[in-house]
Structure 1
Amino acid sequence: MKRLRHFVGCESGTSVIELALILPTFAAFLIGIAEFSRAFSEKLQLEQAAQRAVEKVQQYQASTSTFSTMKAEAATAAGVTATASNPTVEWWLECDGVRQSSYNNPCSTTGAIEARWIEVRITKTYTPMFPSRVWPGANSDGTFTLVGEAGVRTQ
């Protein structure tokens, strides 16, 4: 019993207890910051791939053959397999700010402000270091769907 009384007043090792209490929280913050940085970097790479594809229109003329080339270019740059739905390349005409169904036809109203647009959108699945369905915005398998978009007005 005397030995136990000796430890009651002893303060050596209290900093280790404090460290043991705070270390899991600190580790969780550190892992979260690293995970967020990786995801953000992946999203920026998708946006850069989309922007790279859009820059092709600035080098060439806007035609359907250029648009199919843009899709292949975007998929290659993003490291995804090109499918019918990913990446998507959209082109449209706006007459006085209203989106029209045809890209090639002029606006029907005389004096309308015409604007032709092209947009590339790439989606990619991101798998975190610790996948879980409980994270906000996570898919059912614990992954996240990242989207990179870029657009340019051609006229």
Structure 2
Amino acid sequence: MNINELKPAVLKIIGSSNGTVKDKMQAVCELLQINLETYDWVGFYMAHESEPTLHLWAQAGEPTDHTVIPFGKGICGQVAVSNQNFVVDDVTAQDNYIACSIYVKSEVVIPMFKNGKNIGQIDIDSNTPKAFDEKDERFLEWVNEQIAAII
């Protein structure tokens, strides 16, 4: 499937009356990871309400030990501070990269906003170098908008 073909499936998950928000986030992670060839790991990290940390709420792909990430640490932690998309074509070129797997070659992290506040992010790892482009960024921004609407 391509990105545009996945949008109706994302909307179906989000609009379902079954499951919690975390269940829906998990289903979206699985949908993207299974259907997009370069999306080897997909996760949602959400900001803690009172501490400067991100907490893993849902993920598809290999399990990770990185379930809590301090703001500023790694690509995810940097996005929590900058509020900007971060596309990494080559993770080995990043000084502040947190390695989740020796196979990961590139990463994209897109912040999620609700009422103008950064509440979390979607994080995608790929075992393919330079796996992400502007189409991925726009699609993942859209996914985050759909998730934020149900939080």
TM class by shorter-chain length?
0.3 to 0.5
TM-score computed with the length of structure 1 as normaliser: 0.32
Structure with more helix by fraction: 1
TM-score computed with the length of structure 2 as normaliser: 0.33
Structure with more strand by fraction: 2
